[in-house]
């Protein structure tokens, strides 16, 4: 399998997008909060000595980790602004280490548990990233994460599509990659959800405010056409809707 990498200019746009909306993220990341709650139910009790969270952002999932005694906590995110917002929004244990950078190639500390909520979909080469993470996982270590499946935002693709730099992998594809990395899959789950917004513009605005709007939106005028057609096809009494396919995994060495 050939290694793939998000081009530097696209990665810079991702960092910029998340950094721009760091202050608004918590208000609009309702789906990510729901995912964090379910992912937290998969955590072992008690937590192992060292826990590493990838893509911690503003701390949506970190709060669930801090509900447990943690001897050593390592937090990583690609956006320094997100990390700054996290530090001002909560009190971190003294034994917390911060690592700013792309988790696909970041130098982490040896750890017993790696967790990531709604972040693995950003990895350009998830198989290589899984292999990379194993380099820092202790002999009895484990991995627990949530991500988005290919059914996510399928209505946009039906309508004219928004182009994204990342590929969304299926439940089976993730299972295969986990097993090929050498990890043993413990459990996996898939969940379909619909979220409603007053209009397509409101939906796109929400994606922007969590830093997750696709980067290349269409040709000039295409966005207006997309909004018009999306409003016509997917409007219900509750508003327009979007589908999300949520995937959850737990694996160990």
Gyration radius from the chain CA atoms: 18
Domain membership flag for residue 86: yes
- Does residue 88 lie in a domain region? yes
Q: pTM for this one?
A: 0.87
Q: How many domains does the chain have?
A: 1
Report yes or no on 198 lying in a domain: no
- For residue 113, the enclosing domain spans 8-151+166-192+245-252
Q: Could you tell me if residue 66 is inside a domain?
A: yes
pLDDT attached to residue 156 = 80
* pLDDT, tens digit, 9 for 90 and up, residues 77-125: 998 988 898 999 899 999 999 999 999 999 999 999 999 999 999 899 9
Q: Token pair of 242, please?
A: 């979007």
Q: What is the DSSP letter of 83?
A: H
Does some domain include residue 114? yes
Q: Mind listing the pLDDT tens digit for each residue in 18-46?
A: 555 456 555 656 888 999 999 999 999 99
In a domain, 1, yes or no: no
The CATH number given to whatever domain includes residue 115 is: 3.40.50.150
Task: Examine residue 237 and state whether it is found in any structural domain, yes or no.
Answer: no
Compute the distance between CA of residue 144 and CA of residue 137 in angstroms, rounded to an integer: 12
Is residue 204 included in any domain, yes or no? no
Q: Identify which of 100, 179, 123 has the alpha carbon closest to the alpha carbon of residue 4.
A: 123
């Amino acid at each position: 399998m050939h290694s793939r990498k998000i081009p530097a200019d696209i990665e810079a746009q991702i960092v910029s997008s998340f950094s721009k909306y760091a202050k608004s993220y918590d208000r609009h990341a309702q789906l990510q909060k729901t995912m964090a709650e379910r992912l937290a139910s998969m955590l072992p009790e008690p937590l192992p000595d060292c826990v590493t969270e990838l893509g911690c952002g503003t701390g949506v999932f970190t709060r669930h980790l801090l509900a447990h005694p943690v001897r050593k906590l390592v937090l990583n995110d690609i956006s320094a602004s997100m990390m700054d917002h996290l530090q001002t929004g909560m009190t971190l244990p003294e034994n917390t280490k911060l690592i700013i950078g792309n988790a696909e190639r970041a130098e982490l500390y040896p750890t017993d548990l790696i967790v990531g909520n709604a972040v693995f979909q950003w990895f350009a080469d998830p198989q290589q990233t899984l292999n990379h993470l194993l380099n820092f996982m202790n002999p009895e270590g484990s991995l627990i994460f949530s991500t988005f499946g290919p059914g996510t935002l399928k209505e946009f693709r039906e309508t004219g599509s928004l182009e994204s730099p990342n590929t969304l992998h299926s439940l089976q594809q993730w299972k295969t990659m986990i097993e090929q990395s050498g990890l043993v899959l413990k459990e996996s789950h898939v969940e379909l959800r619909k979220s409603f917004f007053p209009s397509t513009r409101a939906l796109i605005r929400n994606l922007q405010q969590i830093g997750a709007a696709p980067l290349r939106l269409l040709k000039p005028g295409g966005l207006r056409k997309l909004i018009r057609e999306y409003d016509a096809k997917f409007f219900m009494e509750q508003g327009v809707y979007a589908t999300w396919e949520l995937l959850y995994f737990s694996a160990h060495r």
